[in-house]
Structure 1
């Protein structure tokens, strides 16, 4: 067998080869959702991804016999370096991601290349896969290969787990998603909690106003950065990232699916729900041409979907662990559930990702009778 060579991505042709490899290696998996190539290109372009305002990355391609057989990114997030170590990252921490490999030998070669790049930068710990930001697609899928991911979630071959662990990587954190039947009403106890909250004059659950997109996004960001600030792996979202995510997700923003909870007139909690765009883009096979763009635009006008995903929700820190926090969460979930079923035809919901040891969110997920359907592992290793 020919030797494997690894080189940095330096040209447009290299970038195209980097993107295309995922389609070749995963194309036969019926549950893999081919991302739109333009979206992948934007993710790795420093001019189009606000994450690069506080990070740097190097992409690598592996070749064998003139054929591209692997890829990886090695990257440094300056905000992660500033974190306290007890929150998972901190000084000396580097990352790798966007990992694809044809076989175990290729996997070993590209991961070791990423590790060496990080060592050369003075780093002492590698965490992966994280592609590229912790807010994008963190972790390797280790449970749930039998169904397709929802929008903005990753999907990876089962064989990758063994290849990565054989290189000395161990679990740093497990992320989970929860699945539930949203066409079914919640248990009576939850219904009573919601009903009591809806009678409380101090509480107001409101839809976002899409005509005030920037202002509403700022409210949600403020709650998010406060609510999640003590979580493992938390890196504050920066304004450049918010601007880019806003452009990307604005077409998926429907006012009745994103709501803010106010207590005595103060915004204290929120929940973001997205119709599962993957249901629309999966048949497009990564391209909007020749007619995919028209189909997607038609779908976005008023999507009718099987699944809704809740990627983000939060309650301000001062209310966490209180009965009010749980009540607000249940009220947000229930009001959005009603809209998802009646206005979009949804019957399935997915909540996450959630840190496996986030006791508050796990308790909420259990209370509404959801169950874990996908698990992702983030690995770490001293280098």
Structure 2
């Protein structure tokens, strides 16, 4: 007879430690899994440190079999997500689960059932999952691209998880793609170069680097554009003022002069693009810990990353210019300037763009135009409760 699986809420420091440590245990043999920093995971899950908890309710669960921890899951809902239009993916009654790890399929089934019941008890009527914890962190389950490690702030999971989730009655809601540019030094096609040159001749357009001496102000400009640009996107949930400040503080160490751009049209902020060095190449060897010596190694590398690859995680164009030639021109100008900087200053040979919604035609067209290719697909699933 199979041993009974017990699903119980996380309670106390010991349970939280077990919740965090399980991911390192279950993924230890996967050469492409990048151990996140334990301190970052703990901060993500801690009310008072991560401002997501100011407008969300989160319950963590552990699965045990014969007294041994064999799985984990978070069940949560976001009050801001509940206020979004249902046709954009979130909306009233939509809860989530995430932070999912399971030793086998029976454990997975028990965890998902436990998360679903908690969401029903909170009057949720539908699930979008996995989302860990918000749409801005690690949304979706990896379903394509297991043969290489993810870049920073992208997830990696066992291939088996997809079948385990689908057999619990989940269907695809949306796919998110990341795009790989594998020959950065070669530059972009002539058509793109002509578009960039045309923008440089325009008296209406100005593109500048994010200014580290006024970083908080520039970060606010970028997030304000993001909140406008993404407001009609599937899955969108706006950033709060606390999240703007928190995000700026967390991301400042990754901001390199020349890799992050703000574009102006007629003197008004119109678009932005961020590119960060892929610290996962370093974190892979750290085992999820910065102390006692890894913090110094990482900070030293971030001062002037050598042979660094870059990820473009976020860009946005204000609605006024979306679906116009101006939008694509601004995007091509910023990405070309970032390419020049990444190759010239840091020897970059590869970059990644995304994630991008599968039906975001404008961004998909831009990715295709610069000869990038889909290298990973993440899938968000849905189920009615």
TM-score calculated relative to the size of structure 1: 0.99
Query: Hey, what does 1:6 align to over in structure 2?
Result: 7
Between the aligned partners of 1:52 and 1:305, the Cα distance in structure 2 is: 37
Q: Work out whether 1:252 is the aligned partner of 2:216.
A: no
Whether 2:76 is the aligned partner of 1:75: answer yes
Q: CA deviation at 1:125?
A: 0.3
**1:216 match: secondary structure:** helix
Match of 2:54 in 1: 53
Distance 2:130 2:51 in 1: 20
16-25 vs 192-201, greater mean Cα deviation: 192-201
Deviation at 1:289, TM superposition (A): 2.4
SS at structure 1 position matched to 2:95: strand
What is residue 96 of structure 1 aligned with on the other side? Answer: 97
Provide the residue aligned with 1:335 in structure 2: 337
Three-state SS of the structure 1 residue aligned to 2:92 is coil
1:287 aligned onto 2:267: no
SS in 1 for 2:258: helix
* 1:127 aligned residue: 128
Asked if structure 2 preserves the Cα contact closer than 8 Å seen for 1:276 and 1:305, the reply is no
**How far apart are the structure 2 equivalents of 1:117 and 1:327?**
47
TM-score, length-scaled by structure 2: 0.98
Shift in Å at residue 211 of structure 1? Answer: 1.2
Contact 1:272 1:311 in 2 (8 A): yes
- Pairwise CA distance, 1:306: 3.8
Structure 1 residue aligned with 2:302: 300
Equivalent-residue separation in structure 1 for 2:307 and 2:152 (angstroms): 12
Range with bigger deviation, 92-101 or 193-202: 193-202
Q: Is the 8 A contact 1:270 1:313 kept in 2?
A: yes
Give the paired residue count: 383
SS of aligned partner of 1:283: coil
1:379 alignment partner in structure 2: 381
Instruction: Find the residue that maps to 2:47 and give its secondary structure.
Output: coil
- 1:166-199 alpha-carbon deviations (Å, 9 max, x no partner): 0010001000000012111100011001011111
Among residues 266, 269, 276, which one is paired with 1:267 in the alignment?
269
Q: Does 1:66 align with 2:67?
A: yes
- Spell out, residue by residue over 1:94-146, the C-alpha distance to the aligned partner (whole angstroms, 9 max, x if none): 00000000000000000000000000011110110000010000000000000
Q: Does 1:140 align with 2:141?
A: yes
Displacement of 1:281 after TM fit? 1.0
Question: Is 86-95 or 234-243 further displaced after alignment?
Answer: 234-243
Q: CA deviation at 1:255?
A: 2.4
SS in 2 for 1:47: coil
Cα deviation per residue 1:46-104 (whole Å; 9 max; x = unaligned)? 11111111111000000001110000000010011111110011111100000000000
Aligned-pair Cα RMSD in Å: 0.8
Distance 2:97 2:39 in 1: 22
| Alignment-derived partner of residue 32 in structure 1 | 33
Give me the whole-angstrom Cα distance separating, in 2, the residues matched to 1:262 and 1:336.
16
Contact 1:53 1:240 in 2 (8 A): no
Separation in 2 of the partners of 1:301 and 1:240? 27
Aligned-partner SS, 1:35:
coil
Q: What SS does the aligned partner of 2:192 have?
A: helix
**In structure 2, how many angstroms separate the alpha carbons of the residues matched to 1:132 and 1:14?**
18
Shift of 1:236: 0.5
CA offsets, 1:317-373, max 9 Å, x none?
010111111111100000010001111111101000000100000000000000000
Are the equivalent residues in 2 in contact too, given 1:170–1:381 (CA < 8 A)?
A: yes
- Residue 290 of structure 1: CA displacement? 2.8
8 Å CA contact retained: 1:279, 1:305: no
Which residue of structure 2 lines up, in the alignment, with residue 360 of structure 1? 362
Q: Separation in 2 of the partners of 1:300 and 1:255? A: 12
Instruction: Provide the rounded CA distance (Å) in 1 between the counterparts of 2:109 and 2:125.
Output: 18
Q: Which residue of 1 aligns with 2:24?
A: 23
Could you list the runs of 5+ residues in structure 1 that have no partner in the other structure?
Answer: none
Matching residue of 2:229: 227
Structure 1 segments, 4+ long, off by >2 Å, are none
Whether contact under 8 Å (1:275, 1:305) holds in the other structure is: no
Deviation of 1:241 (Å): 1.4
**Alpha-carbon distance in structure 1 between the residues aligned to 2:185 and 2:65:** 50
Report the alpha carbon displacement of residue 300 of structure 1 after superposing the two structures with TM.
1.4
- Other-structure match for 1:193: 195
Partners of 1:23 and 1:305 in 2: how far apart? 27
